[in-house]
Protein backbone atom coordinates (compact mmCIF):
# COMPACT_ATOMS: atom_id res chain seq x y z
CA UNK A 1 0.00 0.00 0.00
CA UNK A 2 1.45 3.36 -1.00
CA UNK A 3 1.69 6.18 1.48
CA UNK A 4 2.85 9.77 1.37
CA UNK A 5 4.78 11.68 3.98
CA UNK A 6 1.83 13.45 5.56
CA UNK A 7 -1.59 12.18 6.45
CA UNK A 8 -2.78 15.21 8.33
CA UNK A 9 -2.89 18.82 7.17
CA UNK A 10 -1.58 20.24 10.46
CA UNK A 11 1.80 18.45 10.29
CA UNK A 12 2.12 19.35 6.62
CA UNK A 13 1.35 23.01 7.38
CA UNK A 14 3.82 23.18 10.30
CA UNK A 15 6.58 21.64 8.17
CA UNK A 16 5.84 24.24 5.48
CA UNK A 17 6.08 27.08 7.98
CA UNK A 18 9.47 25.84 9.25
CA UNK A 19 10.70 25.75 5.63
CA UNK A 20 10.10 29.48 5.37
CA UNK A 21 12.79 30.14 7.97
CA UNK A 22 15.47 28.51 5.84
CA UNK A 23 17.93 30.78 4.07
CA UNK A 24 17.07 31.19 0.38
CA UNK A 25 20.55 30.55 -1.01
CA UNK A 26 20.07 31.58 -4.63
CA UNK A 27 17.42 34.29 -4.27
CA UNK A 28 19.88 36.98 -5.35
CA UNK A 29 20.49 35.16 -8.64
CA UNK A 30 17.17 36.24 -10.15
CA UNK A 31 17.45 39.81 -11.34
CA UNK A 32 15.07 42.24 -13.01
CA UNK A 33 17.16 41.84 -16.17
CA UNK A 34 16.29 38.16 -16.55
CA UNK A 35 13.76 38.06 -19.34
CA UNK A 36 12.02 35.67 -21.69
CA UNK A 37 11.40 38.13 -24.50
CA UNK A 38 9.21 36.81 -27.28
CA UNK A 39 9.37 33.22 -26.07
CA UNK A 40 6.23 31.10 -25.82
CA UNK A 41 5.42 29.96 -22.31
CA UNK A 42 2.61 27.56 -21.39
CA UNK A 43 1.44 27.45 -17.78
CA UNK A 44 -1.11 24.85 -16.66
CA UNK A 45 -3.51 25.76 -13.86
CA UNK A 46 -2.75 29.40 -14.58
CA UNK A 47 -6.07 30.89 -13.46
CA UNK A 48 -5.37 30.60 -9.74
CA UNK A 49 -2.70 30.79 -7.03
CA UNK A 50 0.85 30.05 -8.05
CA UNK A 51 0.07 29.51 -11.74
CA UNK A 52 -1.59 32.91 -11.96
CA UNK A 53 1.40 34.64 -10.31
CA UNK A 54 3.83 32.76 -12.59
CA UNK A 55 1.84 33.90 -15.63
CA UNK A 56 1.92 37.55 -14.53
CA UNK A 57 5.67 37.42 -13.93
CA UNK A 58 6.39 35.70 -17.28
CA UNK A 59 4.23 38.25 -19.11
CA UNK A 60 6.04 41.10 -17.32
CA UNK A 61 9.35 39.62 -18.42
CA UNK A 62 8.36 39.59 -22.09
CA UNK A 63 6.92 36.10 -22.55
CA UNK A 64 4.04 35.17 -24.86
CA UNK A 65 1.97 33.47 -22.22
CA UNK A 66 -0.56 30.73 -22.90
CA UNK A 67 -2.62 30.08 -19.79
CA UNK A 68 -3.84 26.46 -20.01
CA UNK A 69 -6.89 26.32 -17.76
CA UNK A 70 -10.21 24.65 -17.20
CA UNK A 71 -11.96 27.63 -15.61
CA UNK A 72 -12.12 31.44 -15.44
CA UNK A 73 -11.72 31.78 -19.21
CA UNK A 74 -11.31 34.61 -20.24
CA UNK A 75 -11.48 36.55 -16.92
CA UNK A 76 -8.21 35.24 -15.51
CA UNK A 77 -6.41 36.10 -18.75
CA UNK A 78 -7.73 39.65 -18.60
CA UNK A 79 -6.49 39.94 -15.03
CA UNK A 80 -3.02 38.71 -16.02
CA UNK A 81 -2.92 41.26 -18.85
CA UNK A 82 -3.86 44.03 -16.46
CA UNK A 83 -1.43 42.97 -13.72
CA UNK A 84 1.48 42.53 -16.13
CA UNK A 85 0.77 45.38 -18.54
CA UNK A 86 1.28 42.92 -21.42
CA UNK A 87 -1.16 42.06 -24.18
CA UNK A 88 0.76 38.87 -25.05
CA UNK A 89 -1.41 36.66 -22.89
CA UNK A 90 -4.17 34.27 -23.90
CA UNK A 91 -6.07 31.36 -22.49
CA UNK A 92 -6.65 27.88 -23.88
CA UNK A 93 -8.95 25.32 -22.34
CA UNK A 94 -7.27 22.34 -20.70
CA UNK A 95 -8.91 20.00 -18.22
CA UNK A 96 -6.38 17.43 -17.12
CA UNK A 97 -9.09 15.20 -15.67
CA UNK A 98 -10.55 14.77 -19.16
CA UNK A 99 -8.32 13.08 -21.75
CA UNK A 100 -10.46 14.40 -24.63
CA UNK A 101 -9.59 17.89 -23.41
CA UNK A 102 -5.87 17.01 -23.31
CA UNK A 103 -6.05 15.79 -26.94
CA UNK A 104 -8.04 18.87 -27.99
CA UNK A 105 -5.45 21.12 -26.34
CA UNK A 106 -2.67 19.39 -28.23
CA UNK A 107 -4.62 19.69 -31.50
CA UNK A 108 -5.14 23.42 -30.99
CA UNK A 109 -1.44 23.97 -30.36
CA UNK A 110 -0.64 21.99 -33.50
CA UNK A 111 -3.17 23.85 -35.62
CA UNK A 112 -1.80 27.18 -34.44
CA UNK A 113 1.79 26.00 -35.01
CA UNK A 114 2.76 26.85 -31.43
CA UNK A 115 6.35 26.10 -30.48
CA UNK A 116 6.64 26.04 -26.75
CA UNK A 117 9.90 27.33 -25.27
CA UNK A 118 8.83 26.96 -21.67
CA UNK A 119 6.26 24.62 -20.18
CA UNK A 120 5.29 24.98 -16.54
CA UNK A 121 3.38 21.93 -15.34
CA UNK A 122 1.72 23.61 -12.40
CA UNK A 123 -1.90 22.43 -12.22
CA UNK A 124 -2.62 20.28 -9.21
CA UNK A 125 -5.42 19.23 -6.97
CA UNK A 126 -5.80 18.00 -3.39
CA UNK A 127 -8.97 16.01 -2.74
CA UNK A 128 -10.23 14.97 0.70
CA UNK A 129 -11.69 11.74 -0.65
CA UNK A 130 -11.47 9.58 -3.74
CA UNK A 131 -12.98 11.08 -6.89
CA UNK A 132 -13.24 9.23 -10.19
CA UNK A 133 -12.47 10.86 -13.52
CA UNK A 134 -14.31 10.05 -16.75
CA UNK A 135 -11.51 7.60 -17.53
CA UNK A 136 -12.24 5.70 -14.32
CA UNK A 137 -9.00 6.87 -12.70
CA UNK A 138 -8.41 8.54 -9.37
CA UNK A 139 -8.47 12.32 -9.88
CA UNK A 140 -5.19 13.02 -8.05
CA UNK A 141 -3.48 10.24 -9.98
CA UNK A 142 -4.71 11.62 -13.30
CA UNK A 143 -4.44 15.39 -12.75
CA UNK A 144 -1.27 15.53 -10.66
CA UNK A 145 0.53 12.75 -12.47
CA UNK A 146 -0.68 10.84 -15.54
CA UNK A 147 -2.06 13.75 -17.59
CA UNK A 148 1.35 15.46 -17.35
CA UNK A 149 3.03 12.32 -18.68
CA UNK A 150 0.50 12.18 -21.53
CA UNK A 151 0.71 15.87 -22.35
CA UNK A 152 4.50 15.74 -22.62
CA UNK A 153 4.33 12.76 -24.98
CA UNK A 154 1.72 14.42 -27.17
CA UNK A 155 3.57 17.73 -27.34
CA UNK A 156 6.92 16.13 -28.06
CA UNK A 157 5.39 14.03 -30.82
CA UNK A 158 3.92 16.90 -32.77
CA UNK A 159 6.91 19.15 -32.16
CA UNK A 160 4.89 21.65 -30.12
CA UNK A 161 7.58 21.03 -27.56
CA UNK A 162 10.50 21.05 -29.98
CA UNK A 163 12.68 18.24 -28.68
CA UNK A 164 14.76 16.72 -31.43
CA UNK A 165 14.75 13.25 -29.86
CA UNK A 166 11.09 12.79 -30.73
CA UNK A 167 9.81 14.73 -33.67
CA UNK A 168 10.60 18.34 -33.13
CA UNK A 169 12.70 20.50 -35.36
CA UNK A 170 14.81 23.12 -33.70
CA UNK A 171 16.42 25.82 -35.75
CA UNK A 172 20.13 26.27 -35.14
CA UNK A 173 20.62 28.67 -32.26
CA UNK A 174 17.14 28.08 -30.81
CA UNK A 175 17.34 27.67 -27.04
CA UNK A 176 16.77 24.30 -25.45
CA UNK A 177 13.10 24.19 -24.40
CA UNK A 178 12.49 23.93 -20.69
CA UNK A 179 9.89 22.03 -18.71
CA UNK A 180 9.42 22.87 -15.03
CA UNK A 181 7.45 20.47 -12.85
CA UNK A 182 5.77 22.10 -9.86
CA UNK A 183 6.11 19.59 -7.07
CA UNK A 184 6.29 19.58 -3.30
CA UNK A 185 9.05 18.76 -0.86
CA UNK A 186 6.41 16.74 0.95
CA UNK A 187 7.28 13.98 -1.55
CA UNK A 188 10.40 13.26 0.53
CA UNK A 189 9.89 10.08 2.54
CA UNK A 190 6.84 8.87 0.64
CA UNK A 191 6.73 5.12 0.08
CA UNK A 192 8.03 3.34 -3.01
CA UNK A 193 5.57 3.23 -5.88
CA UNK A 194 3.01 0.48 -5.34
CA UNK A 195 2.40 -1.12 -8.73
CA UNK A 196 -0.38 -3.37 -7.42
CA UNK A 197 -2.57 -0.32 -6.91
CA UNK A 198 -1.07 1.84 -9.70
CA UNK A 199 -3.78 3.30 -11.93
CA UNK A 200 -6.57 1.50 -10.04
CA UNK A 201 -9.43 3.33 -8.39
CA UNK A 202 -10.05 2.86 -4.63
CA UNK A 203 -12.42 4.63 -2.28
CA UNK A 204 -10.61 6.53 0.50
CA UNK A 205 -11.06 9.35 2.99
CA UNK A 206 -9.19 12.46 4.06
CA UNK A 207 -6.15 10.71 5.57
CA UNK A 208 -5.33 8.80 2.39
CA UNK A 209 -6.24 11.88 0.32
CA UNK A 210 -3.51 13.87 2.11
CA UNK A 211 -1.17 10.93 1.73
CA UNK A 212 -1.86 10.66 -1.98
CA UNK A 213 -0.96 14.30 -2.56
CA UNK A 214 2.65 13.87 -1.39
CA UNK A 215 2.87 10.32 -2.78
CA UNK A 216 1.89 11.44 -6.31
CA UNK A 217 4.45 14.25 -6.13
CA UNK A 218 7.05 11.48 -5.62
CA UNK A 219 5.59 9.67 -8.63
CA UNK A 220 5.67 12.90 -10.66
CA UNK A 221 9.30 13.58 -9.75
CA UNK A 222 10.29 10.01 -10.64
CA UNK A 223 8.63 10.50 -14.03
CA UNK A 224 10.40 13.85 -14.55
CA UNK A 225 13.79 12.26 -13.93
CA UNK A 226 12.98 9.24 -16.15
CA UNK A 227 11.70 11.47 -18.96
CA UNK A 228 14.87 13.51 -18.75
CA UNK A 229 17.02 10.38 -18.68
CA UNK A 230 15.36 9.11 -21.87
CA UNK A 231 15.43 12.24 -23.97
CA UNK A 232 18.68 13.74 -22.77
CA UNK A 233 21.04 10.86 -23.42
CA UNK A 234 23.99 12.66 -24.96
CA UNK A 235 23.04 16.31 -24.64
CA UNK A 236 20.15 18.25 -23.15
CA UNK A 237 17.40 18.12 -25.74
CA UNK A 238 14.62 19.30 -23.43
CA UNK A 239 15.56 20.57 -20.01
CA UNK A 240 13.33 19.02 -17.32
CA UNK A 241 13.63 20.29 -13.77
CA UNK A 242 11.54 20.08 -10.63
CA UNK A 243 10.74 22.70 -8.01
CA UNK A 244 8.87 22.93 -4.73
CA UNK A 245 7.65 26.52 -4.33
CA UNK A 246 7.42 26.15 -0.53
CA UNK A 247 4.23 26.94 1.36
CA UNK A 248 2.01 29.30 -0.62
CA UNK A 249 -1.21 31.03 0.37
CA UNK A 250 -3.43 29.69 -2.42
CA UNK A 251 -6.67 27.87 -3.04
CA UNK A 252 -5.09 24.40 -2.81
CA UNK A 253 -7.15 23.59 0.31
CA UNK A 254 -10.44 24.50 -1.38
CA UNK A 255 -11.69 20.89 -1.20
CA UNK A 256 -10.87 20.36 2.49
CA UNK A 257 -13.75 19.88 4.98
CA UNK A 258 -15.14 23.31 5.95
CA UNK A 259 -13.71 23.49 9.48
CA UNK A 260 -10.23 22.40 8.39
CA UNK A 261 -10.50 24.87 5.51
CA UNK A 262 -11.37 27.80 7.79
CA UNK A 263 -8.53 27.03 10.19
CA UNK A 264 -5.99 26.47 7.42
CA UNK A 265 -7.06 29.59 5.54
CA UNK A 266 -6.27 31.62 8.66
CA UNK A 267 -2.86 29.97 9.08
CA UNK A 268 -2.08 30.21 5.35
CA UNK A 269 -2.92 33.90 5.13
CA UNK A 270 -0.81 34.82 8.16
CA UNK A 271 2.23 32.60 7.72
CA UNK A 272 2.51 31.35 4.12
CA UNK A 273 4.19 33.22 1.25
CA UNK A 274 2.11 35.12 -1.25
CA UNK A 275 1.88 33.46 -4.69
CA UNK A 276 3.82 36.43 -6.11
CA UNK A 277 6.74 35.77 -3.77
CA UNK A 278 6.66 31.99 -4.29
CA UNK A 279 6.57 32.45 -8.08
CA UNK A 280 10.02 34.09 -8.05
CA UNK A 281 11.89 30.83 -7.46
CA UNK A 282 9.88 29.15 -10.23
CA UNK A 283 10.72 32.02 -12.58
CA UNK A 284 14.38 31.65 -11.62
CA UNK A 285 14.40 27.97 -12.58
CA UNK A 286 12.33 28.67 -15.71
CA UNK A 287 14.28 31.53 -17.28
CA UNK A 288 17.63 32.06 -15.59
CA UNK A 289 20.81 31.35 -17.59
CA UNK A 290 21.88 29.39 -14.48
CA UNK A 291 19.59 26.58 -15.70
CA UNK A 292 20.54 26.75 -19.38
CA UNK A 293 21.04 23.15 -20.53
CA UNK A 294 20.56 21.82 -17.01
CA UNK A 295 18.24 18.91 -16.46
CA UNK A 296 17.13 16.65 -13.61
CA UNK A 297 17.72 19.46 -11.08
CA UNK A 298 15.61 20.17 -8.01
CA UNK A 299 15.01 23.40 -6.15
CA UNK A 300 13.21 23.72 -2.83
CA UNK A 301 12.28 27.38 -3.19
CA UNK A 302 15.65 29.01 -3.93
CA UNK A 303 17.69 26.13 -2.48
CA UNK A 304 19.22 23.41 -4.67
CA UNK A 305 18.56 20.09 -3.04
CA UNK A 306 18.33 16.38 -3.78
CA UNK A 307 14.92 14.80 -4.18
CA UNK A 308 14.03 11.61 -2.34
CA UNK A 309 16.66 8.98 -3.37
CA UNK A 310 13.93 6.73 -4.85
CA UNK A 311 13.27 9.36 -7.51
CA UNK A 312 16.71 8.77 -9.09
CA UNK A 313 16.51 4.97 -9.21
CA UNK A 314 16.78 4.05 -12.92
CA UNK A 315 15.04 0.67 -12.47
CA UNK A 316 12.18 2.38 -10.69
CA UNK A 317 11.99 5.00 -13.46
CA UNK A 318 11.79 2.30 -16.15
CA UNK A 319 9.08 0.45 -14.26
CA UNK A 320 7.08 3.64 -13.78
CA UNK A 321 7.40 4.47 -17.47
CA UNK A 322 6.09 1.05 -18.50
CA UNK A 323 3.21 1.04 -16.02
CA UNK A 324 2.22 4.58 -17.02
CA UNK A 325 2.20 3.51 -20.67
CA UNK A 326 0.01 0.52 -19.80
CA UNK A 327 -2.53 2.65 -17.91
CA UNK A 328 -2.57 5.22 -20.73
CA UNK A 329 -3.24 2.48 -23.32
CA UNK A 330 -5.96 1.00 -21.12
CA UNK A 331 -7.92 4.24 -20.78
CA UNK A 332 -7.22 6.02 -24.05
CA UNK A 333 -7.70 4.59 -27.57
CA UNK A 334 -5.53 7.45 -28.86
CA UNK A 335 -2.59 6.59 -26.62
CA UNK A 336 0.73 6.85 -28.46
CA UNK A 337 4.04 7.08 -26.69
CA UNK A 338 7.14 8.85 -27.95
CA UNK A 339 9.75 6.29 -28.93
CA UNK A 340 12.41 7.29 -26.43
N1 LIG B 1 0.01 26.00 -2.08
C2 LIG B 1 1.09 25.39 -1.60
O3 LIG B 1 1.46 25.57 -0.43
C4 LIG B 1 1.89 24.47 -2.50
C5 LIG B 1 3.08 23.92 -2.00
C6 LIG B 1 3.81 23.08 -2.83
C7 LIG B 1 3.38 22.81 -4.11
N8 LIG B 1 2.22 23.35 -4.56
C9 LIG B 1 1.79 23.03 -5.94
O10 LIG B 1 1.58 24.22 -6.65
C11 LIG B 1 0.71 23.94 -7.76
C12 LIG B 1 -0.34 25.02 -7.87
O13 LIG B 1 -1.22 24.94 -6.77
P14 LIG B 1 -1.73 26.22 -5.97
O15 LIG B 1 -1.16 26.10 -4.61
O16 LIG B 1 -1.53 27.45 -6.76
O17 LIG B 1 -3.28 25.87 -5.80
P18 LIG B 1 -4.58 26.45 -6.56
O19 LIG B 1 -4.72 27.90 -6.32
O20 LIG B 1 -5.68 25.56 -6.10
O21 LIG B 1 -4.27 26.19 -8.09
C22 LIG B 1 -4.39 24.92 -8.67
C23 LIG B 1 -4.58 25.08 -10.15
O24 LIG B 1 -4.67 23.78 -10.73
C25 LIG B 1 -5.82 23.78 -11.57
N26 LIG B 1 -6.41 22.47 -11.74
C27 LIG B 1 -6.93 21.64 -10.83
N28 LIG B 1 -7.48 20.58 -11.42
C29 LIG B 1 -7.32 20.76 -12.76
C30 LIG B 1 -7.69 20.02 -13.90
N31 LIG B 1 -8.41 18.90 -13.81
N32 LIG B 1 -7.34 20.49 -15.12
C33 LIG B 1 -6.66 21.64 -15.24
N34 LIG B 1 -6.30 22.41 -14.20
C35 LIG B 1 -6.64 21.96 -12.97
C36 LIG B 1 -6.81 24.69 -10.86
O37 LIG B 1 -7.85 25.06 -11.77
P38 LIG B 1 -9.33 25.41 -11.22
O39 LIG B 1 -9.24 26.75 -10.58
O40 LIG B 1 -10.16 25.38 -12.46
O41 LIG B 1 -9.70 24.33 -10.25
C42 LIG B 1 -5.88 25.82 -10.48
O43 LIG B 1 -5.66 26.66 -11.57
C44 LIG B 1 0.14 22.54 -7.51
O45 LIG B 1 0.82 21.61 -8.32
C46 LIG B 1 0.47 22.30 -6.05
O47 LIG B 1 0.59 20.92 -5.75
C48 LIG B 1 1.46 24.19 -3.79
Could you give the count of Cα atoms lying within 13 Å of 291 in the half-sphere of its Cβ? 30
Reported as a single tens digit per residue, the pLDDT across 13-46 is 777 777 877 788 889 999 999 999 999 999 999 9
- Report yes or no on 165 lying in a domain: yes
Which distant-in-sequence residues (6+ apart) come within 8 Å of 273 by Cβ?
Answer: 20, 245, 246, 247, 248, 249
CA–CA separation, 40 and 132 (whole Å): 33
Ligand 1 pocket, residue 244 CB under 6 Å: yes
Quickly count: other Cβ atoms within 10 Å of residue 165's Cβ.
Answer: 17
**Backbone φ and ψ of 38, nearest 5°:** 75, 0
- Quote the domain boundaries for residue 153: 9-22+39-331
In which band, very low, low, confident or very high, does the pLDDT at 7 lie, cut at 50, 70 and 90? low
Reported as a single tens digit per residue, the pLDDT across 47-58 is 999 999 999 999
Quote the ligand 1 centre to 55 CA distance (angstroms).
13
Counting the structural domains of the chain, the total is: 1
- Report yes or no on 65 lying in a domain: yes
> What is the model's pLDDT at position 269?
87
Could you give the count of Cα atoms lying within 13 Å of 130 in the half-sphere of its Cβ? 12
Q: Are the CB atoms for 118 and 41 separated by under 8 Å?
A: yes
Q: Enter the pTM of the model.
A: 0.96
Reported as a single tens digit per residue, the pLDDT across 57-79 is 999 999 999 999 999 999 999 99
Looking at every residue in the chain, the average pLDDT score rounds to 93
Quote the ligand 1 centre to 122 CA distance (angstroms).
6
Q: Is the pLDDT of residue 172 over 90?
A: no
Quote the ligand 1 centre to 227 CA distance (angstroms).
22
Ligand 1 pocket, residue 94 CB under 6 Å: yes
- Report yes or no on 27 lying in a domain: no
The CATH number of whichever domain residue 110 belongs to comes to: 3.40.50.720
Ligand 1 pocket, residue 95 CB under 6 Å: yes
Amino acid sequence: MSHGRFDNPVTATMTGILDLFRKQKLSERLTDQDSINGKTCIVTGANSGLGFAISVELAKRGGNVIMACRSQIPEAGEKVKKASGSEHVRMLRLDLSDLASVHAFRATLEKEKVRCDLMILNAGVATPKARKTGSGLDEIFQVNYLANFILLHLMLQNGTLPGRTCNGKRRPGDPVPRVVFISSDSHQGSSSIDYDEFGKFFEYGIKKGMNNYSYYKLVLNTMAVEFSRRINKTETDVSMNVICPGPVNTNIIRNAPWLVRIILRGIFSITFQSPEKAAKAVIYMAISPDFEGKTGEYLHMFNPKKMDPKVYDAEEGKKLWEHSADVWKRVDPKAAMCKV
